[in-house]
Structure 1
Amino acid sequence: MPIIDFNQYCYFPSLLAGDVERLAFEELTNQARELTLPMFELARYRTEGDFAHSIEILNNLPDGTQYLLDIDKRAAPPPYIAQNPNDPVADAQRVAQQTQTQQAFNAQLGQLLRPTNGFENWRNLVAQFPDAVPVLQFTNPTMQHMNIIRQAALLSQGGASIAMRIRSRMSEVSCQIAAQILALLPSSSQLLLIFDAGQGRRDLVGRGEWIAASMDNILSQLEIEQQAGLVAVAMSNSYNAPGHSGMREAVNHDWTVWNEAVEAFAFRFGDYGGSPRQNNLSAFVPRSYRATVVHSLDQGWLIHRHENADDPNGWVLGAQAIRQHDAFDPIDSWGDGVIAQVADHGLGEYDASRVWHAVRVNGHLERQARYAQEMCF
């Protein structure tokens, strides 16, 4: 396990370990990479029955890439049931096959989250990624209290770095466990605390206050000497999947949450990489798309969503509309470069939805890394 100085980073985005996120991350500038410590989450790929695709993504990251490693804990849903399939026999076969892979995936997810022997299955998997800082796993901190402590003790051997992601559900006991782990570690700098206020654009002040109160709770249980070197992240996600047509300016409320929390502690900034994250995975796979182009700003986004479905020219029109907008503020990034290229010369090689998702994520990561440097350092 690596030993990392968390103090050198100001931006901690949570990213699913998928094709879009890999492309967006690989296209980051050196400046953004130096400021960013991503948290990659092992995630389900389409209707597959395991984490093999995510694991392959991580194995193919650029050599020496350091990152946090977590699990997307959303279970695979039952297969989508078509109301009136064109071919009932073929559709029944699809449902049977997808039911099998759904059950296989959920079984593997359950195995990784088994608390036995300090989450031994998770620790064994993490050991395969020498550049990854493991995020401590738990689903019920009250019931798994001692398993979490053992997990932290074993993963932090030799001074290795670890991270703990605390959510609002059962946060009181999670904070108690975090304080106990910090009391056991030779140095508090070994443990990165991530307070994740989740997805949403409501109760922003309340979410920031929860982060601040949770940090105060932990600090109140530690001696002054144990607080030295402690790094913590205030994380939330206010980017929603667009449902409009035409141009829209959206405010990035994650900075509102951060501003509320930072009054209590010098938090670093974290979000979900400019990507919506639903509470549950869906079995429904849309067969059409609406071409959407997104340009990230310091505290917001310009979003153009074409009114027609399945029209690739919408990406050209969107790129042109964003480039002509008064708020357009390009920086040196692959994402902004693609927008300019397509606005001037047409779609070319960028004729795919996944590319434009990567354009959005890359532009967001670049912008937030630089803005977080101004705000957090």
Structure 2
Amino acid sequence: MQIDFSQYSYLPCLQCSEAEQIAYAKLSEEDKNAILPIFELSQVKYEAALEESVTAIAALVSSRPFVIDLSKDRAPPPFVAVNNPDQGKIAKLQKAQDAYNKSLTSLLNASDGFAEWRTLVGKFPNAVPVVQFTDPETQGKNILRQAVQLAKSGYDHLAIRITQETNEQIFPIVGQILAILDSAAQLLVIIDCGQGRLQTSERAEFAKKAIARIIEEIEPSQAQHLSAVCLSDSYTTPGNAKLKLYESYSWQLWLEAREKFPFLFGDYGANHRLKKANTFMPGEWKAQVVYPLDEAWIVYRHPDAQDANGWIEGSKEIKGDPSYDGACNCWGSELIDKAAVGDIIGATFARFWHAAKINMHIHRRIGYSFEVMSGSDGP
């Protein structure tokens, strides 16, 4: 499949949670065609096998091009209540989590050029595989073999993901991967600056230094053909304020990173990824409604727990806020429109409202990223 990475202005990075699946599935055909999503295989829900995420992604993307990656987060252990723990349920859940982690370990086994990962990737001929590794200092030969074998298997385009924690030994390896490809245009470099609302300039500096190190490893004539996406997200778990405007810092980070290289824009779809110490802990939930703006989010958090009426009240509050512009025209905004007049039929679970936020965010980012990159100076 021939792919021109540079034609995409926005690359959302999504995992396999139910909310993220719903959000993507509810995008219009036009929106789906406008993005190159990065899908990370991850646990769909507790007790789910890794194969379920493979099936889910296959159903979502159909024949569209996408980047396939693997979340390296292990499934957490079961939650154990202090009083009267259900040992049978705990044992069942632990077995499921152990099975998931075993599958993850197999896919990250470096033997024979990450053979298990390459076998899984073979199920997706329309994918751009992310070259896997955990320790580039010791896995160099197998990382390179992985790239060579993927290219021989018909994958004309590859991707590689670099985070702030990645060992610097990855940079000469990226140069070697580029040497086996006919053109640098066949490799997408994903510079993942992580999530958070602090140290924006420091994370942008990481992106600039990382891409500069890669360019040092290739011929100057090839550098102009290289595509890279700067990935970050500043959405956060809302505080206790009933209605609040949260500014997005992702564009600021992207603009700073872009001073030295024409990065494409990417984020986590306004999905705040939390590291879980254990599986779901029973507790109170509070209804939230989020409306994305170009560079911010209007966030409503209902004060009362376990109150589905919060989605109705939240939708009314957001539509009445001075910052609300009604510019989103997609499934998520339709959910808010209906709730604002008291209709939440079919949307009485938190996952639908989480999905609505991601769906609207992606829809809005598509238009805004194109607008920004078509301009001369950015936002």
TM exceeding 0.5 = yes
Deviation at 1:52, TM superposition (A): 2.4
Aligned pair count reads: 372
Distance 1:33 1:49, change over 3 A: closer
Deviation at 1:225, TM superposition (A): 2.0
SS in 2 for 1:61: helix
Please give the residue correspondences for 1:77-226 in structure 2 after superposition, counting only pairs within 5 Å. 77-85=76-84, 88=85, 91-157=86-152, 158=154, 160-226=156-222
Q: Give the Cα–Cα distance (whole angstroms) in 1 for the partners of residues 295 and 225 of structure 2.
A: 29
Distance 1:363 1:323, change over 3 A: same
Distance 1:174 1:279, change over 3 A: farther
Q: CA RMSD in A?
A: 1.6
Please give the residue correspondences for 1:66-81 in structure 2 after superposition, counting only pairs within 5 Å. 66-81=65-80
Is the contact between residue 183 and residue 226 of structure 1 (CA under 8 Å) also seen in structure 2? no
User: What is the letter of the counterpart of residue 317 of structure 2?
Assistant: A
CA deviation map 1:303-327 (0-9, x unaligned):
0010011100000000000000111
Is the contact between residue 156 and residue 190 of structure 1 (CA under 8 Å) also seen in structure 2? no
SS in 1 for 2:39: strand
Deviation at 1:348, TM superposition (A): 2.3
Deviation at 1:23, TM superposition (A): 1.6
Q: Give the Cα–Cα distance (whole angstroms) in 2 for the partners of residues 364 and 46 of structure 1.
A: 23
Q: Give the Cα–Cα distance (whole angstroms) in 1 for the partners of residues 217 and 138 of structure 2.
A: 21
Alignment-derived partner of residue 347 in structure 1? 344
Distance 1:198 1:29, change over 3 A: same
Q: Give the Cα–Cα distance (whole angstroms) in 2 for the partners of residues 68 and 284 of structure 1.
A: 29
Q: Give the Cα–Cα distance (whole angstroms) in 2 for the partners of residues 263 and 115 of structure 1.
A: 36
Deviation at 1:241, TM superposition (A): 1.6
Alignment-derived partner of residue 373 in structure 1? 370
Per the normalisation by structure 2, the TM-score is 0.94
Alignment-derived partner of residue 260 in structure 1? 256
Deviation at 1:59, TM superposition (A): 2.2
Deviation at 1:101, TM superposition (A): 1.6
Deviation at 1:171, TM superposition (A): 4.5
The match for 1:290 among 286, 289, 297 is: 286
Q: Give the Cα–Cα distance (whole angstroms) in 2 for the partners of residues 82 and 267 of structure 1.
A: 47
Deviation at 1:62, TM superposition (A): 5.1
Per the normalisation by structure 1, the TM-score is 0.94
Deviation at 1:61, TM superposition (A): 1.8
**After the TM superposition, which segments of 4 or more aligned residues of structure 1 sit over 4 Å from their partners?**
none
User: What is the letter of the counterpart of residue 237 of structure 1?
Assistant: D
Q: Give the Cα–Cα distance (whole angstroms) in 1 for the partners of residues 182 and 90 of structure 2.
A: 52
Alignment-derived partner of residue 246 in structure 2? 250
SS in 1 for 2:75: coil
User: What is the letter of the counterpart of residue 240 of structure 1?
Assistant: T
Matched, 1:359 2:356: yes
Residue identity over aligned pairs, in percent, reads: 37
Alignment-derived partner of residue 25 in structure 1? 24
Q: Give the Cα–Cα distance (whole angstroms) in 2 for the partners of residues 300 and 286 of structure 1.
A: 31
Is the contact between residue 16 and residue 44 of structure 2 (CA under 8 Å) also seen in structure 1? no
Alignment-derived partner of residue 332 in structure 1? 329
Deviation at 1:226, TM superposition (A): 1.8
Deviation at 1:287, TM superposition (A): 4.0
Q: Give the Cα–Cα distance (whole angstroms) in 2 for the partners of residues 11 and 166 of structure 1.
A: 18
Matched, 1:237 2:233: yes
Distance 1:38 1:63, change over 3 A: same
Q: Give the Cα–Cα distance (whole angstroms) in 2 for the partners of residues 355 and 92 of structure 1.
A: 31
Alignment-derived partner of residue 3 in structure 1? 2
- After superposing the two structures, state which structure 1 stretch, 32-41 or 269-278, moved more: 32-41
Matched, 1:323 2:319: yes
CA deviation map 1:207-261 (0-9, x unaligned):
0011011111111221122223211000112111223241011111111110110
Alignment-derived partner of residue 306 in structure 1? 302
Q: Give the Cα–Cα distance (whole angstroms) in 2 for the partners of residues 351 and 170 of structure 1.
A: 41
